[in-house]
Structures are given as C-alpha cells and as structure tokens.
Amino acid sequence: MVQVYRKTHEYPEPTPTSLLAFFLRYPNPFARHVLSVDVLERKIDLATGKIYTTRLILKRGILPKWATRWLPSGSGGRGLDAWILEESVVDPPGWASEEGEYGKQPRLRVQQGNLNHRKLMHVVEGGELRAGPNGLRIESYGVNKFEGNSETSHKGMSLILSLLRNRHPLPETAEFEFYPPPPPGFSESWRDIPEAANEKLRKEESPKSFFLSPKSLAAWARGKHENGQDK
C-alpha cells in the first residue's frame, strides 16, 4: 500500500538565502534525530549552470512496540538507524522562461529515500524550493509520511533562515539553545519550548544550557521577577 502526504510552506526570504539555508539546516534543535550529514558528491554542469549534490544522512528513529516483531533478533530494541540518500539539483536563474517571474530566480529540487530497512518501510520524500507568486517568498513542498515531521523540519529551516538573516553563528550541535539569546523580560516564550516546560527533562537529558551566556540567564531571571514567578 502506498501513502502520499504533501504540504506547502512559505518563507519570507530571498530565494538564494533559502537555498543556502537548505544545505545548512543540520544540525538544528528541531532535528535531533539527524546524527550525521556527509556530502558524497557535488558538481557543476558548466553547460547548464546546474549544481548537483548527493548527500548521505544518518537518522535515528523509534519504532512503536507493535512493529518490533519485524526487526531482526538482536537489533537492540526499538531504536532504528536509517541511512538516507539525498539528491538535489539547483537550477540557475532563468531556468524556465515560460514560468515568468518564477523562472528568473534559482530553484532547488530534492529527492531522498532510505537505503536500508526497505522491507519494513520505504519512504521517498521530494521537495522544491522556488520563488513564490510575487518573486520574493519561497514555496517549499514535499512528500513526507508524518505531518509532525514536516512541522519540525519547517521550524529547523526557519531557525537557520533567522540566523542567516541576522548574521548570527550557526548551531554546532542539535542541543536546544536560543539563537541568539532572548531579550530581557521574556517569559511566555520560554514555556512554549517543550524542553523548558519539562524541568525534569531539562535537568536530566540536556547536557548543555539553554542559553549561550550568563547574560541570558540574567535576562530569564529578570523576566520571571517582572511576572511575579519567583515567589
């Protein structure tokens, strides 16, 4: 049986910035399941100006208990590591004159699928990043099995775009940190983050601080005091 899922996102960034963010989106706090990303090949077709990239991505997932009976004995429980082959093509500006304004901006097309565990499940994802109707916004749509995965991917992409826009350093790990540190007086946004809302999870499972500097911790304390949460 084949299941198909499709979703569209819009990013308010110039097309080249969004394409750059696509290749820099790992690591980020919304993709802790991504363990490694390696570029196997990258080449430029001098005749067409297209850029071809092949990457190997290692992802780790957790299977439901009812699915473990299909795993080989001694596989180590419900955890499952999957090797993903990602192949993408960046079309240069002017790739399609019949597309009007769309064709004047570069476009990225990508497809990826798992190399192992195909007897259990074979997932193929496809996506496209290109200029929207006004030539400024980006439409990203892909085929993915779960809507939740699509949402977290969108959050990670938006995070990298924000860092590029504000010229902040990119995250070096997938640990959940604020980039950049939040301004003084914030409180509600802190509780919106699952890791922050769960005090036990924050202490036991996160080896790093949520903030990048002591100044950020002071900002958090001021926010709690101003909202009367330190009583």
Concatenating the DSSP letter of every residue in 52-95 gives EEEEEEEEEEE--GGGGGGSPTTS-SSEEEEEEEEEEEEEPTTS
Name the residue type at position 190.
W
pLDDT digits (tens, 9 = 90+) for 144-198: 444 556 666 777 788 788 878 877 777 676 665 554 444 444 444 444 444 445 5
Provide the pLDDT for residue 24.
94
Q: SS3 for 48?
A: coil
pTM value is: 0.59
**CA dist., res. 26 & res. 178, Å (int):** 16
Residue partners of 125: CB distance under 8 A and separation at least 6 = 110, 111, 112, 113, 142, 143, 144
DSSP string computed for 14-50: -HHHHHHHHHT--S-TT-TTEEEEEEEEEEE-TTT--
Provide the pLDDT for residue 45.
96
**CA dist., res. 39 & res. 126, Å (int):** 18
Provide the pLDDT for residue 198.
52
Per-residue confidence band for 10, with pLDDT thresholds at 50, 70 and 90: confident
Q: If you classify domain 6-169 with CATH, what class do you get?
A: alpha beta
Provide the pLDDT for residue 219.
54
64 Cα distance to chain centroid: 23
* Domain ranges within the chain, ordered by starting residue: 6-169, 182-231
**CA dist., res. 191 & res. 162, Å (int):** 21
